[in-house]
C-alpha cells in the first residue's frame, strides 16, 4: 500500500485536538492551519464545539466523510477504540503521536500489538506510535508538533527520534535548508525505515534520503533494498546504539571482534550508504548531494585569497584521497592574463588578499573550464577590501553557468562574511566553516560516486560436496552438540575445496609416535577434546617436534597436565599432524550477525589476531572484487604483497579462499561462527593450507 496519503491527504482528522496552548493536540492542529494546508481539517474532541474557528466532532463517524489521514493524540489505552473507528470509516493512513506503548514495558507492548492487529485486519498503515508526526512542505502538510514548516527542498528525512527531528527542523529553518518529506517513525509498529526508503525512492520530489536510526527492523531486506535505492539516490544515515558494550561475547576470535557496530559498518559499505557521524556532517553532506552535480572524478582545485587556508585545503584533500588537479597550460596562461603577477597560477590558485569579486569570478570561470578539474572549492578570508556578498553572488552565477562541475565554498569568519553566506544559501551553493569540513563533504560524495561505478556484483559458485557437510552438521545438531571440533571442521572445509594438513588422532604415546613417523618430521601435536576450544591456553599445542621420542614425551605430558587444568574436559586423545613450515599466517573467519547474516572476517592470523586487531569485515556472499577489497583494507596486506625484497603471497588464491568460505556459510545458515586460523598462504604456485579450524552450529 502506498504511503502517499501520509504526505498528500485531501483531508486530515486530528483525534485529540485541543484548544489549550502548549498541548500537543493544539500544536498539531495549529501547525496544520498555519502551514497553509488547503484540504479539510477535522478536529475531533468530545468536549469542544470548535477550536481555532474549526468545527469539532465528537468522533470520526460523526464527520460524515472519510478523512484520508487521521492523527491520534489521546491516552494510549483509548487508541485501540479509535483504530477500530478508523477501520469502520475507511481511513487507511494513521499517525499515532501518543506514547505509552512498547517503550514502557510489556503491557505497552501488548497494547501496541493490539492496535497493529486492528490495523492489519482493516488494511490501515500506521506511522508511530510514540512519534513526532510527518511533514510534507510542498503539500503544506505539517501533521507534527515539531515546529514551523521548513522550506520545500530535495531532501527526505526519517528519524527514529522525535526530539532529534525537532532539533533538525529548527537548525534547517535557521539556515534555509529545504525538505521534501520529514517523518518521525517512533516505535515502528507498522511503517518502518525500509517502507520509507522505498517511498522516498519513488518520490519525484526527493533527490537525497537522510535519516537517523537506532536499529533496523529487517537487516537482510534492508541491505537488499538499500543497495538498489543507493544506485539512484544517495542515502545518508546516522546510526546509534551499536557500541561494543551492547554486543554479546562470543567464543571464537571472530565473534569476539565482530560486534553489532561492525555489522552495521559492513552493511553500509555493501549498500552504498553514506555514514554520518553527526548532525553537522549529515547537513554538510546532504547540501552537497542535493544542490551540486556528482563529479565524474576526484580532481579538485582550490581558489583562495589567502595562502594558509589554501595549504590547509590541500593537506585535507590529500589526506582524504582526493586528487589535486593539475591545471592545463591553457588554463594557467589565461589565469596569468586575469590575475596579478604576484598571484599563484597553479593549484591552489591564490588570487591574493586584495581580490575583489571580479578577480574571484575570472579565476573561477577559467578553472571550471579546465577539463582536468571536476570540483572547485572557493576559500575566502575577510580582509579590509574583501567583497564577501558580491563574491558570493559571483560564485553562484558561475556555478549556474557550469552545471556539470561541483562548486562549493568556505568563507572563514563570522559577521564580515554573514551577508555572503546568506547569498550562497539562497543560491544553493553549499558552504562550510572550515576547509576540512568542505573536503570531508566532497570526499563523501566522491566515495559514493566510486561506489556507484563499481562493477556489477557477480558471486562465483565453486563445485563442492554439500552432502558431506549436511551430514556432519545434522549429526551434531541431533546430538545437541554446538561445537564442531577441528577434525570435522577440516572435513567441512575439504568438502569446499580447502586443503588441510594430514594427521590422525592418537590414544597412546606409542600410537602418536607411529603416526608421526608415517607423516614425517617435524610434526604438530594438539590436544583433542570437544570441551577445549582454545588449545594453546591450556598447553594443548606443541609445534616443531623433530623425532619419535619428543612426540611420545609430549603426548604423556599433555595427558598428565591438561586434565589437571580442566578436570571436567572430555579428552579423547592427541591430534598428530604434519607441520606447515612455510608461508604467512592469516585468519579467515565468519560471525553470523542476527540482523545481517554472515559477516566475513580477514586479518593477520595466529595468536596475534586479537592483540593487533588488524582485521576487515564484509557481508557475505562475497564477490571476487569484495574479497580483494577486504585484503587491501588491512595493514597485513602490505606484508602479503611483499616488503623489502621478500616475495609476496598469492593474493588471488587468498581471495578465492575467502570466497569459498563465504559460499560455505551462505549455503549453511546453521553455521553461526567459524575460524580458519592460521591459514598458511605462500607465493604464487603454492597451495594454501587450513592449518587449524573450528566452527559452531545452531538450528537455523
pLDDT for 533 equals 79
Alpha carbon distances (Å) from 203 to 81, 197, 209: 33, 10, 10
Mean pLDDT of the 230-238 span: 97
pLDDT-derived band at 255, boundaries 50, 70, 90: very low
Mean pLDDT of the 26-39 span: 95
Non-local (6+) Cβ contacts of 257 within 8 A are: 591, 601, 609, 610, 613, 615
Of 5-9, 304-308, 441-445, the one with minimum mean pLDDT is 304-308
Residues 82-91, buried b or exposed e (16+ Cβ, 10 A)? bbbbbbebeb
Alpha carbon distances (Å) from 18 to 74, 91, 130, 186, 548: 10, 22, 18, 22, 90
pLDDT-derived band at 487, boundaries 50, 70, 90: confident
Q: Is the per-residue pLDDT at 245 higher than 50?
A: no
* Rounded distance between C-alpha atoms, residue 159 and residue 200, angstroms: 13
**Chain segment 590-640, per-residue pLDDT in tens:** 999 988 999 999 998 876 666 667 889 999 999 999 999 999 999 888 888
Q: Which of 216, 211, 224 is nearest to 285 (CA)?
A: 211
pLDDT for 2 equals 86
C-alpha torsion 248→249→252→258, nearest 10: 50
Cβ contact 484:694 at 8 Å: yes
Mean pLDDT of the 549-564 span: 94
Q: Is 512 left (phi over 0), alpha (psi -120 to 50) or beta?
A: alpha
Q: Is the per-residue pLDDT at 211 higher than 70?
A: yes
Q: Is the per-residue pLDDT at 257 higher than 80?
A: no
**Chain segment 348-407, per-residue pLDDT in tens:** 999 999 999 999 999 999 999 999 999 999 999 999 899 999 999 999 999 999 999 999
Q: Is the per-residue pLDDT at 324 higher than 80?
A: yes
Query: How far separated are the first and last CA of the chain, in Å rounded?
Result: 31
Share above pLDDT 90 across residues of the chain, in percent, rounded to a whole number: 82
Q: Which of 252, 366, 359, 341 is nearest to 304 (CA)?
A: 359
* Rounded distance between C-alpha atoms, residue 633 and residue 345, angstroms: 37
pLDDT for 611 equals 63
pLDDT for 254 equals 41
Please report the beta strands in 485-611, taking only residues with DSSP state E, as ranges in sequence order.
503-506, 523-528, 541-545, 573-578, 584-593, 597-604
pLDDT for 177 equals 87
Q: Is the per-residue pLDDT at 260 higher than 80?
A: no
Cβ contact 358:313 at 8 Å: no
Domains, in order of start, for the chain: 4-206 (3.40.50.720), 293-452 (3.40.50.261), 466-578 (3.30.1490.20), 584-697 (3.30.470.20)
The average confidence (pLDDT) of the chain is 92
Instruction: Kindly tell me the number of DSSP H helices and DSSP E strands found in the chain.
Output: 24, 31
Q: Is the per-residue pLDDT at 482 higher than 80?
A: yes
pLDDT for 250 equals 29
**Chain segment 90-135, per-residue pLDDT in tens:** 999 999 999 999 988 899 999 999 999 999 999 999 999 999 999 9
Mean pLDDT of the 42-50 span: 94
Mean pLDDT of the 75-79 span: 96
Amino acid at each position: 500500500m502506498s504511503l502517499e496519503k501520509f504526505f498528500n491527504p485531501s483531508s486530515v482528522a486530528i483525534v485529540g485536538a485541543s484548544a489549550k496552548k502548549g498541548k500537543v493536540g493544539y500544536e498539531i492542529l495549529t501547525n496544520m492551519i498555519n502551514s497553509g494546508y488547503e484540504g479539510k481539517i477535522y478536529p475531533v474532541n468530545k468536549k469542544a464545539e470548535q477550536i481555532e474557528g474549526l468545527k469539532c466532532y465528537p468522533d470520526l463517524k460523526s464527520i460524515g466523510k472519510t478523512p484520508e489521514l487521521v492523527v491520534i493524540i489521546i491516552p494510549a489505552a483509548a487508541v485501540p477504540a479509535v483504530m477500530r473507528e478508523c477501520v469502520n470509516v475507511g481511513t487507511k493512513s494513521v499517525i499515532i503521536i501518543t506514547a505509552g506503548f512498547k517503550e514502557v514495558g510489556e503491557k505497552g507492548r501488548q497494547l501496541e500489538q493490539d492496535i497493529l492487529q486492528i490495523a492489519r485486519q482493516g488494511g490501515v498503515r500506521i506511522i508511530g506510535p510514540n512519534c513526532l508526526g510527518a511533514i510534507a512542505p510542498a503539500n503544506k502538510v505539517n501533521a507534527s508538533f515539531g515546529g514551523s514548516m521548513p522550506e520545500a527542498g530535495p531532501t527526505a528525512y526519517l528519524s527514529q527520534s522525535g526530539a532529534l527531528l525537532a532539533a533538525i527542523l529548527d537548525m534547517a529553518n535557521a539556515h534555509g535548508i529545504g525538505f521534501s518529506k520529514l517523518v518521525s517513525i517512533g516505535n515502528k509498529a507498522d511503517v518502518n525505515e525500509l517502507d520509507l526508503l522505498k517511498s522516498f525512492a519513488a518520490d519525484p520530489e526527493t533527490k537525497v534520503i537522510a535519516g537517523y536510526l537506532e536499529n533496523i527492523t529487517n537487516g537482510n531486506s534492508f541491505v537488499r533494498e538499500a543497495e538498489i535505492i543507493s544506485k539512484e539516490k544517495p542515502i545518508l544515515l546516522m546510526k546509534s546504539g551499536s557500541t561494543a558494550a551492547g554486543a554479546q561475547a562470543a567464543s571464537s576470535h571472530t565473534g569476539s571482534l565482530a560486534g553489532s557496530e561492525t555489522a552495521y559498518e559492513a552493511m553500509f559499505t555493501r549498500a552504498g550508504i553514506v555514514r554520518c557521524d553527526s548532525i553537522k556532517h549529515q547537513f554538510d553532506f546532504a547540501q552537497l548531494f542535493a544542490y551540486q552535480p556528482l563529479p565524474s572524478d576526484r580532481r579538485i582545485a582550490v581558489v583562495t585569497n589567502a595562502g594558509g587556508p589554501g595549504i590547509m585545503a590541500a593537506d585535507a584533500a590529500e589526506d582524504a584521497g582526493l586528487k589535486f588537479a593539475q591545471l592545463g597550460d591553457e588554463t594557467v596562461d589565461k589565469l596569468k592574463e586575469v590575475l596579478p603577477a604576484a598571484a599563484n597560477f597553479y593549484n591552489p590558485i591564490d588570487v591574493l588578499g586584495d581580490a575583489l569579486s571580479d578577480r574571484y569570478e575570472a579565476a573561477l570561470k577559467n578553472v571550471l573550464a579546465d577539463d582536468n578539474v571536476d570540483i572547485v572549492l572557493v576559500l575566502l578570508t575577510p580582509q579590509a577590501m574583501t567583497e564577501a556578498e558580491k563574491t558570493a553572488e559571483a560564485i553562484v552565477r558561475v556555478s549556474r553557468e557550469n552545471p556539470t562541475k561541483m562548486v562549493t565554498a568556505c568563507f572563514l569568519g563570522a559577521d564580515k562574511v554573514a551577508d555572503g553566506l546568506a547569498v550562497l544559501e539562497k543560491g544553493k551553493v553549499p558552504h562550510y566553516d572550515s576547509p576540512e569540513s568542505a573536503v570531508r563533504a566532497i570526499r563523501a560524495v566522491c566515495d559514493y560516486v566510486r561506489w556507484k561505478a563499481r562493477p556489477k556484483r557477480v558471486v562465483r559458485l565453486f563445485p563442492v560436496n554439500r552432502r558431506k557437510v549436511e551430514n556432519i552438521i545434522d549429526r551434531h545438531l541431533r546430538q545437541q552438540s554446538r561445537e564442531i571440533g577441528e577434525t570435522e571442521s577440516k572435513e567441512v572445509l575439504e568438502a569446499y575445496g580447502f586443503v588441510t594438513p594430514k594427521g590422525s588422532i592418537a590414544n597412546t604415546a606409542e600410537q602418536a609416535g607411529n603416526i608421526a613417523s608415517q607423516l614425517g618430521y617435524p610434526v604438530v601435536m594438539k590436544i583433542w577434546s570437544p570441551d577445549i576450544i582454545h588449545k594453546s591456553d591450556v598447553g594443548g599445542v606443541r609445534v616443531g617436534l623433530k623425532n619419535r621420542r619428543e612426540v611420545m614425551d609430549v603426548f604423556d605430558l599433555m595427558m598428565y597436565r591438561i586434565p589437571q587444568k580442566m578436570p571436567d574436559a572430555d579428552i579423547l586423545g592427541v591430534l598428530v599432524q604434519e607441520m606447515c613450515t612455510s608461508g604467512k599466517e592469516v585468519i579467515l573467519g565468519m560471525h553470523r550477525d542476527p540482523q545481517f547474516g554472515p559477516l566475513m572476517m580477514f586479518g593477520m592470523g595466529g595468536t596475534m589476531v586479537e592483540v593487533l586487531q588488524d582485521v576487515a569485515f564484509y557481508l557475505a556472499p562475497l564477490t571476487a572484487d569484495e574479497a580483494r577489497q577486504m585484503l587491501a583494507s588491512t595493514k597485513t596486506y602490505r606484508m602479503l604483497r611483499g616488503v623489502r625484497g621478500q616475495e609476496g603471497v598469492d593474493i588471488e588464491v587468498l581471495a578465492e579462499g575467502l570466497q569459498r568460505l563465504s559460499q560455505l556459510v551462505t549455503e549453511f545458515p546453521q553455521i553461526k561462527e567459524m575460524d580458519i586460523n592460521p591459514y598458511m598462504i605462500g607465493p604464487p604456485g603454492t597451495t594454501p593450507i587450513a592449518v587449524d579450524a573450528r566452527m559452531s552450529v545452531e538450528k537455523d
